[in-house]
Structure 1
């Protein structure tokens, strides 16, 4: 038996309401370019809109002009989507709360998640959206996941409750030590003062 190895999210498709609500939210609020439009090939009564969330992958929305929002909050039963999180730059993150407030969009306020900062709000159909920004940049040649797994191992070894900045900093240092060679015989910390 062999795995079916995934290599990233190809796209996420959501059931939307009407076309204009979808465009106004995904492009007009979240800034995702509207890049492709065609009928839903499995349902002739629906449209299929495609948006680029910023990494070249896709968020797609099935639309129907007769469908309106029916939830204050989308279902969170087992098997349902709880929320979708999108990455934003630190510069954008610093503006998120003010920009949501300016639009009158109710939100959670900033949440410190140890390794990232987040804010939550609902789309017009009740889907919970998270905007998140990492508190770190991975070393050259490493991914955010590389740092996260190293920080997790450190947190568990120390018996800490959750990942914090100290775990991230130590993880980054270890990844650099493993990946980057040096001419020094001793890489240990020094005090030149």
Structure 2
């Protein structure tokens, strides 16, 4: 059977509350520029806001002036979204806890070994993760390539999770495969 090969995430669309709640959070708190707005073409009574996530992908939000925010935790039903992870730099990650608390958000920090994670709930109850890799891949390589090699090293070592040494060894392996040394060692 032939595959339908995807090339990345085009956009994620969320069901929002009123327009201003969405703008205040996505642009006001997370710094995503609102760059496009129109009615929802399938349900014209709803608004459709487009926010730039910073890497060329888009978060869009359907808005309804009759809906108001509720900070309750969303139900985790089969097929539902558990959380939305957004990429941030290490500098932003280090400031995020303080800045989110200043906006009234409760946060949870997690060290994942190869990345740092900060979790909080946005005004409608969706769990948001701010994720920051602790490494940069070699030029021309991706984080996924590094992590695939680190995963293989983790499995070979019998470890439960990817750790710093797996990532460091994966970086050495990838770097060596991209530039051949004239020296035997």
TM-score w.r.t. structure 2 length? Answer: 0.97
1:178 alignment counterpart: 177
Output the CA distance in 1 between the equivalents of 2:138 and 2:149. Answer: 12
1:4 alignment counterpart: 4
1:38 alignment counterpart: 38
Shift of 1:104: 2.0
The change in CA–CA distance for 1:7 and 1:163 in structure 2 (over 3 A counts) is same
Shift of 1:149: 0.1
1:191 alignment counterpart: none
1:96 alignment counterpart: 96
Pairing 1:23–2:23 present:
yes
Secondary structure of 2:29's match? Answer: coil
Gaps of at least 5 residues in structure 2 are none
**Does the 8 Å contact 2:10/2:58 carry over to 1?**
yes
Shift of 1:178: 1.1
**Greater Rg over alpha carbons, structure:** 1
Secondary structure of 2:123's match? Answer: coil
Count of aligned pairs: 185
Secondary structure of 1:100's match? Answer: helix
Output the CA distance in 1 between the equivalents of 2:129 and 2:14. Answer: 16
- Within 5 Å, which residues of 2 pair with 1:1-193? 1-70=1-70, 72-108=72-108, 110-184=109-183, 186-187=184-185
Gaps of at least 5 residues in structure 1 are 188-193
Shift of 1:71: 5.4
Secondary structure of 2:17's match? Answer: coil
